[in-house]
Amino acid sequence: MADKTEVWLGTLSLMVLRTLATIGPQHGYGLARRIEQISGDQLSLNYGTLYPALLKLEQEGAITSEWGVSDNNRKAKFYRLTRTGRKQLERQTRDWQDTTAIVARFLGPSEEG
């Protein structure tokens, strides 16, 4: 079980990093909404899944957090990408692209067809 969560967390953290890189500092709720939106509502994220990913990234120093005020004047904790995070995003994006490319080659139409 634990292994699967790690894999899931791995992709989730990539999504978090990417989202933060695109839209700038964001609070947890906004992040969850945004990720769902981008996935075309294919993913349904509850906070219990998102929060551990955020915590892990923070512990690794990829993101930092501080309390701020949201658009509609609510107190909220904002997450921001760090330099380390940006590098991590670049590397992970590359890795991910490589991986999907390889997997795609396996799953693509066979040449002898």
Partner 1 sequence: MRKLRRLWMQLRATKGGEHSDRDLADELESILQMHVDDNLRGGMTPEEARRQALIKLGGVEQVRQAVRDRRGLPWLEVFGRDLRYAARTLLRTPGFSAMAVLVMAIGIGASVSLFTVIHSVLLRPLPFPHSEKLVAIYSQDALSKPGSGNAVAPGDFYDWQKAAHGYEQMAMWRWTGFNMSASDGQLPEFLNAGTCSWNLFSTLGISPVQGRPFMPADDYAGAARTAILSWSFFERRFNHNPAVLGNTVRLNGQLYTVIGVLPDWFQYPEPKIELWVPWQIEIPREILWSHYDHIGYVVGRLKAGIHSTAAIQEVSAAQHQIYLRFNGTGPVEQSAIARPLLEDMVGEVKTPLYVLLAAVVCLLFIASLNLSNLLVARSATRRREMAIRTALGSRRFSLIRQQLTESLLICLGGGMVGLLLATAGTHWLTTRWEELPRAYGVHLDRMAVAFALGITAMAGVLAGLLPALSTSGGCALSALQENSRGIGGSASRTSMRKALLTGEVALTVVLLVTAGLLFRSFLRLRGVDLGCATKNVLTMNYFLRGDKYSKPEQIVNFDTQLLDKVRHLAGVEAAGITNVVPGDGYYGDHEFWIPEHPAQVPGEHHFAAYRTADPDYFSVLRIPLILGRFFSENERLDHDKYVIVNQELVRQFFPAEDPIGKNLRVAWRTPQGENYEIVGVVGDTRYQVDRPIRPMMWFPILAGIPGNSSDSVLVVRSAKDVMSLATPIQKVIASFDSDFPVKNILTMEQIVGESTANPSFTATLVLSFAGLSLLLAAVGLYGVLSYLVTQRTPEIGIRMALGAERNQVLRLLLLDGLRPALIGLALGMAASVALTRLIRSLLYGTSPLDATVFVLVIITLLLSCTAACLVPAWRAARIDPMDALRSE
Q: Which residues bind partner 1 (CB under 8 A)?
A: 27-30, 33, 46-49, 51-52, 55-56, 58-61, 70, 72, 74-77
CA neighbor of 42 nearest in space, from 11, 71, 17? 11
What is the edge-to-edge ordering of all strands in the sheet holding 26-27? 26-27, 75-81, 63-69
Nearer to partner 1, 24 or 100 (CB): 24
At 83, list the tokens: 């330099």
At 85, list the tokens: 């995070």
Minimum Å distance from CB 22 to partner 1?
20
Minimum Å distance from CB 108 to partner 1?
34
Would you say 23 and 37 are in contact if contact means Cβ atoms under 8 Å apart? no
Nearer to partner 1, 15 or 112 (CB): 15
What is the C-alpha to C-alpha distance for residues 53 and 49, in angstroms, rounded to an integer?
7
CA neighbor of 50 nearest in space, from 86, 82, 8? 8
Nearer to partner 1, 48 or 108 (CB): 48
Minimum Å distance from CB 3 to partner 1?
15
Nearer to partner 1, 1 or 107 (CB): 1
Minimum Å distance from CB 28 to partner 1?
5
